[in-house]
């Protein structure tokens, strides 16, 4: 069951990875449309460089690549711990789960796209289910 849940975590992480560039592009279009509408009402024009700068800042602030890489790494480490024949691994599993929650929370806080929010919530739910089962290993 834990291995299946790890697979689900990796699946959700992949969905977020695929969606993130689309979220940045959607933000770009939304920002441009909003600026165009405001400028049309004022009769002014937008400085293209400034708009692109704002989009670049948004992309930088919302960059979740590092968190996704660490989350995948934690999933792999968790799988390795489950395969290990060495002594008690419960505490190490608990530590990894804490780290995974931190990564997921960071992804969620950097995100403004509903199509990323849904898998983030599901990731949290899956991690909590793993945590509940890990307490039986502790």
pLDDT digits (tens, 9 = 90+) for 74-104: 999 999 988 876 655 778 888 999 999 999 9
Which residues, at least 6 apart from 64, have a Cβ–Cβ distance to it below 8 Å? Answer: 16, 20, 106, 107, 110, 111
The whole-number average pLDDT for the span 33-37 is 80
Residue 32 in tokens: 């441009």
The DSSP secondary-structure symbol of 32 reads: H
pTM of the prediction? 0.81
């Amino acid at each position: 069951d834990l291995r299946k849940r790890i697979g689900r975590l990796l699946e959700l992480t992949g969905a977020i990875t695929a969606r993130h560039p689309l979220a940045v592009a959607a933000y770009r279009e939304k920002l441009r449309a909003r600026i165009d509408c405001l400028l049309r009402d004022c009769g002014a024009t937008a400085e293209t460089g400034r708009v692109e700068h704002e989009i670049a800042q948004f992309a930088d602030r919302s960059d979740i690549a590092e968190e996704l890489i660490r989350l995948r790494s934690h999933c792999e480490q968790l799988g390795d711990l489950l395969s290990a024949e060495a002594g008690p691994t419960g505490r190490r599993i608990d530590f990894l789960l804490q780290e995974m929650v931190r990564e997921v929370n960071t992804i969620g806080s950097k995100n403004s796209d509903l199509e990323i929010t849904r898998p983030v919530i599901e990731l949290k739910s899956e991690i909590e289910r793993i945590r509940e089962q890990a307490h039986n290993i502790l």
